[in-house]
Amino acid sequence: MPTIFTVAAALLGAAVGSFLNVVIYRLPLGLSIVSPPSSCPRCDTRISALQNIPVVSYILLRGRCAKCREPISIRYPLVEALTSVLTALLWLRFGEDPLLFGIYFIFMAAMVAVVFIDIDHKIIPDSISLGGIVLGFAASFFTPVGWVDSLIGIVAGAGSLFLVAWGYHIITGKEGMGMGDVKLLGAIGAFLGWQSVLFTIFVSSVTGSVVGVVALKLMGEGRDYEIPYGPFIVLGALAYLFRGPELIDWYLSLMG
């Protein structure tokens, strides 16, 4: 029995991943995310329902537009597959409580959109971060987080990272973190509580630093390549969502 629901969750995730591709492309450009229907950016041919099946269509079309053969970015099926896998995992973790699953599903989908919008444009839209703060606080009345921890999470999230960003700016004279990251952490605190904020800052700064150092080595010293910080924040938040308390216990046991 549980298997069929997990498969259904994976299919739901793939379909929503397909929608997220539209959101990722259109939201930062200020375009409507509901209309018009998707079309090929080169020949403007409408993408039919049959050509819009997540992942499968990409493989059947061999990664090209059916009409003009313009290559389609591999990222489209990747976002669909990623969302599909995350949704299945989310169901396995929270499926016993469908309301909790629904709330975290919306949160997770928003986080996937944040990753790719930040990579493309180095911004995190307010509609997601500020919208997430409002929605996360409202949702906390229905989750184990509770509104008190959610509220502290918003203050801790937005407040602590603001201090870090401000300190970094004072010391280096550069913008290390944008206000978008600050607001995003507020939204994470709203959904997952203040404990998740500390965890997310820890995970994102460690992974971000490692990737930053490796990127610097690969690209040569002195290059000023700006790595978006949003994806690392999302990595921390999703790690907390799936295994946060266990990971904290494990870490504390290492510390003795």
- Summarize as ranges the residues that interact with Zn ion (CB under 5 A): 40, 42-43, 65, 67-68, 70
Pick the closer one to Zn ion by CB: 40 or 192. Answer: 40
Pick the closer one to Zn ion by CB: 6 or 45. Answer: 45
Render the burial of 119-143: b for 16+ CB within 10 Å, e for the rest.
eeeebbbeebbeebbebbbebbeeb
Tell me the closest approach of the beta carbon of residue 57 to Zn ion, in angstroms: 14
Pick the closer one to Zn ion by CB: 68 or 210. Answer: 68
Tell me the closest approach of the beta carbon of residue 61 to Zn ion, in angstroms: 10
Pick the closer one to Zn ion by CB: 65 or 114. Answer: 65
Q: Are 122 and 226 in contact (CB under 8 A)?
A: yes
CA distance 13 to 9: 6
CA distance 20 to 116: 10
> Would you say how long the chain is, in residues?
256
Pick the closer one to Zn ion by CB: 65 or 128. Answer: 65
Tell me the closest approach of the beta carbon of residue 72 to Zn ion, in angstroms: 9
Tell me the closest approach of the beta carbon of residue 76 to Zn ion, in angstroms: 14
For residue 31, give the DSSP letter.
Answer: -
159 vs 35, 101, 154, 156, 183, CA distance in Å?
A: 37, 28, 8, 5, 9
Residue 123, both tokens: 């911004």
Tell me the closest approach of the beta carbon of residue 38 to Zn ion, in angstroms: 11
